[in-house]
A = this chain, B = another copy of it.
């Protein structure tokens, strides 16, 4: 499967790229607004993987070119760039491509981080609103501990919560989640349930802030 990671130069993008190349043999393409930056990061990830005996080619392309050939597109950009980014690749998305939205809108005050719920109801709903109708949207990978994900020395033991309406798309993203050792996919229902999933991200940040010994926190439901 060919996976385009838009914002593949950021921390969650890096972790997903490395893990999918390392644990599975998915073909990874890093997307960015500037192809130079995408290529530079792709080379870095290749070097990191090669040092662990995994010799793969990772492409680095501008976002629309990365999108055009992908089976799954991860919009791993900050919430405030999400609409722009999806609009910039809309014409390159082909019917049946799955678009995954891991973005969470947050605001900070003296107490800590807070979920900044957009008018659309959730960031995933916002993504779905601007994505072409024949492209199913899945919300997922919101609550990953980014540093641990990107460090291939660390064993993961975290749940990944998925929301979406298209069963095939959910199944595809669940399989991609399962392909990374230590991640377990859980379904949280349709996109109308995304706000409760996205609200978990500021909570994880607050828990790391207020509890010694908790850093880069993941979550398990049992």
A residues in contact (CB < 8 Å) with B: 109-115, 157, 161, 186-193, 195-197, 199-200, 202-204, 206-207, 209-211, 214, 217-222
Contacts and interface: CB of A to CB of B under 8 A. Distances in A.
Contacts of A113: 196
Contact of A218 (B115, B204, B207, B221): B221
A203 B222 contact: no
A189 B217 contact: no
A197 B193 CA distance: 16
A209 B197 CA distance: 14
Given A200-B203, A202-B196, A111 B190 contact: yes
Contacts of A196: 113-115, 199-200, 202-203, 206
Given A196-B200, A200-B200, 8 more contacts: A109-B192, A112-B193, A115-B195, A157-B222, A161-B207, A196-B202, A214-B222, A220-B221
5 contacts: A109-B192, A187-B207, A196-B206, A204-B221, A207-B221
* SS of A interface (majority): mixed
B206 A189 contact: yes
B221 A111 contact: no
A187 B208 CA distance: 9
A211 B110 CA distance: 37
A203 B197 contact: yes
Nearest to A192: B111
Contacts of A112: 188-190, 192-193
Contact of A193 (B111, B192, B214): B111
A193 B206 contact: yes
B209 A189 contact: yes
A21 B213 CA distance: 30
Nearest to A121: B114
A203 to B, nearest CB: 4
Nearest to A218: B222
Which one of A186, A188, A193 has the highest number of Cβ atoms from chain B below 10 Å of its Cβ? A193
A220 to B, nearest CB: 5
A217 B192 CA distance: 21
A52 to B, nearest CB: 25
